Amino acid sequence: MNCELMDLRVNGDERGKLVAVEKGVNCPFEVKRAFYIFGTKDKARRGCHANRKSQFLFIALKGSCRVEFSDGNAEESVLLDSPTKALWLDKMIWKEMFDFSEDAVLLVLSSEKYDAGEYIRSREEFLKAKEAKK
Ligand code: TYD
């Protein structure tokens, strides 16, 4: 699957730590959009969609959450619990985020600006789109 759980390069000195993200540094794409998810209710699931164009980089800045994702064949599950870990997901991967800790702040960086039209929000439609590409 086109995905990678990465250990981020951390700049640390006597003052503390800093992580920078740009294309080629801790991230394989040019970042055009950032959003973050917080105050997530217990048992809530976010995501539950695939994107025709957008790649994503997920970083749990605080707390933790789980990300489950699938390319239509394989399925994987990753726990994000450190601001020094990032999960990269390519376009056309179904993803669901859940098990958010109460204090979780999940930063999401994307290769594309927001366009609701490139979201596939039905799993059936996602699998059909995958089949069509084979
Ligand atoms: P939604 O896609 O449901 O979030 P998730 O990725 O967790 O499934 O988005 C929630 C709301 O926020 C929805 O009204 C669309 C809006 N939104 C934007 O305006 N820009 C964005 O970049 C994103 C991700 C969402």
Reported confidence tier of residue 47, pLDDT bands at 50, 70, 90: very high
Catalytic annotation, pick one of 33, 46, 49, 91: 49
49 is known as an active-site residue: yes
**In degrees rounded to 5, what are phi and psi of residue 22?**
-155, 170
For residue 118 and ligand 1, the question of a CB distance below 6 A is answered with: no
- How far is 62 from 34, CA to CA, in rounded Å? 16
Top mutation candidate among 49, 96, 114 for ligand 1, by most atoms within 8 Å of CB? 114
pLDDT mean across residues, the chain = 97
DSSP codes, 42-74: TT--EEEEEESS--EEEEEEES-EEEEEESSS-
On the question of pLDDT at 104 being above 90, the answer is yes
pTM: 0.96
Look at residue 93 and tell me whether its pLDDT is greater than 90.
yes
State the pLDDT at residue 134: 79
CATH of the domain at 50: 2.60.120.10
Residue 70 CA to residue 94 CA, distance in Å, equals: 5
Number of domains in the chain: 1
Residue with tokens 């390519």: 90
Give the residue numbers spanning the domain of 69: 3-133
Q: What is the pLDDT of residue 49?
A: 98
